[in-house]
Structure 1
Amino acid sequence: MASEAGLDRPIRVLIVDDHPFLRDGIATLIERQPDMAVAGEAGDGSEGIARFAELAPDVVLMDLQMPGISGLEAIEAIRGRSPDARILVLTTYPGDAQVVRCIQAGAAGYLLKNGIRKELLDAIRMVHTGRPALSPEIVHDLAAHALDEPLSDRELEVLRLVAEGHANKEIAWRLDLSIDTIKAHLKRAFEKLGVDDRTHAVTVAIRRGFIER
């Protein structure tokens, strides 16, 4: 359970990222603030879950792309145990679909790593006080696709197999569907993504976070 910080106590931050140099840089930035302190660090999602349980930090900074348990899975696990946990995602990858998944999992904010120096400290303070924090680019992407029809689970499944390099015939065999059904799913996915071919569909799906890199 996230701690309630008093006015005379710094915001205790747990940094979860698999890149030591980035953790060190963020830790240095935080430690320079009179109202913040580094509660601890973790190098992957599994360790992040354990460290959260051990330290009960006020705010968690969570990377998404990590070995083993991903950041998204760690968010779900932490929030499952502590519904009031305040988690701020830090990632290299934008993508409205990925942002929505993180928010649905319980993240209170989503920042791109290229904006850490300008946005991170204010975002930590916002999340700590219960306010959401999103990078401007993220807000733009969410607004741009707010009215888009979502991809169905089956369309996403087919696109993931296309991204892995499988032909329609093999996808049909794997999913126990007809080739015509696979083509129909792809056609519908193309329409929703605003593309005309498989390659472009995969590119857009990855950029928007429907498919993980």
Structure 2
Amino acid sequence: MTKQTTINILLVDDHAIVREGYRSLISKQADLKVIAEAANGTDAYLLFKERQPDVVVTDLTMPGLSGLELISRLKQRDRKARILVFSMHQNPSFARQACRAGALGYVSKNSAPDILLRAIRDVYLGRHILSADIAQALALEKLGNEATALNSLTAREFEILRLLIEANTQEQIAKTLNISPKTVGNCHYLIKNKLGVNSDIELTRLAIKLNVVSLLDLTDLT
């Protein structure tokens, strides 16, 4: 009789109660096992190197190193890394950027538990997977000129845009992403050029309009 394969999982989410819920769900599956947990991207990267999980399940929005940047770094370290995003963000641009960075799957937190479990198994097998709501949003998305411009950003530029809108300085962004302030400044210029805006105020307004951030998110930062 063939021994059942156990899929070892690194779970990354900054909310301890949320992680506990996922761990409880996953622990009931004979073929799935959470071997490590992290509350931020920096710890997740170190645990990935130490524990070498089969699948990384990560949120996108976390303090410090975000899920998007984590994906990029994991793929740079191991191009075969299997990563599934499990996020509250239903904006198709987030799913597009996560997949562009190297994630194999993207499931929204509105999905039923069995969708997440199925996605973990699919990602382990190297398959691309989107939850139905994300797939529909991508399929039905009506791309105007502004949305098309947003999708022209690279994953790194998209992450810098998000951090800029959250009122991080160029020095703070450089430290978070482990790049030089000059590189951040150059990307800042390219982002505004690609999006056709002339000021940071216009950039913020456009980011809100395209659901990169919400007014509530910005209020929470004040």
Which amino acid in 2 is paired with 1:151? Answer: A
Q: Give the 5 Å matches for 1:1-20.
A: 8-20=4-16
Displacement of 1:185 after TM fit? 3.3
Which amino acid in 1 is paired with 2:120? Answer: I
Candidates 204, 210, 213, aligned match of 2:209: 204
Displacement of 1:145 after TM fit? 2.7
Candidates 135, 140, 147, aligned match of 2:136: 140
Which structure has the greater CA radius of gyration?
A: 1
Candidates 118, 122, 128, aligned match of 1:122: 118
* Equivalent-residue separation in structure 2 for 1:126 and 1:162 (angstroms): 34
* Equivalent-residue separation in structure 2 for 1:121 and 1:56 (angstroms): 20
Candidates 193, 196, 212, aligned match of 1:185: 196
What value does the CA root-mean-square deviation take over the aligned residues?
A: 3.5
Q: Are 1:68 and 2:79 matched, yes or no?
A: no
Q: Aligned residues, how many?
A: 180
> Are the counterparts in 1 of residues 162 and 213 from structure 2 also a CA contact under 8 Å?
no
* Equivalent-residue separation in structure 2 for 1:140 and 1:44 (angstroms): 29
* Equivalent-residue separation in structure 2 for 1:104 and 1:147 (angstroms): 18
Aligned-partner SS, 2:111: helix
* Equivalent-residue separation in structure 2 for 1:134 and 1:28 (angstroms): 23
Q: Deviations over 1:84-140 (max 9, x none)?
A: 110000111111111111101000111111215231111111111111121111101
Aligned-partner SS, 2:196: helix
5+ residue gaps, structure 2: 168-185, 187-192, 218-222
Partner of 1:106: 102
Partner of 1:23: 19
Aligned-partner SS, 2:50: helix
Aligned-partner SS, 1:15: strand
* Residues 148 and 62 of structure 1, relative CA distance in 2, 3 Å threshold: same
Partner of 1:169: none
TM-score w.r.t. length of structure 2: 0.69
Displacement of 1:74 after TM fit? 0.5
Candidates 30, 36, 45, aligned match of 1:34: 30
* Equivalent-residue separation in structure 2 for 1:158 and 1:23 (angstroms): 28
* Residues 69 and 35 of structure 1, relative CA distance in 2, 3 Å threshold: same
Candidates 70, 88, 94, aligned match of 1:92: 88
* Equivalent-residue separation in structure 2 for 1:102 and 1:39 (angstroms): 23
Partner of 1:151: 149
Q: Deviations over 1:26-59 (max 9, x none)?
A: 1111111111111110110000101111111111
* Equivalent-residue separation in structure 1 for 2:99 and 2:15 (angstroms): 23
* Equivalent-residue separation in structure 1 for 2:39 and 2:58 (angstroms): 10
Aligned-partner SS, 1:60: strand
> Are the counterparts in 1 of residues 85 and 106 from structure 2 also a CA contact under 8 Å?
yes
> Are the counterparts in 2 of residues 88 and 109 from structure 1 also a CA contact under 8 Å?
yes
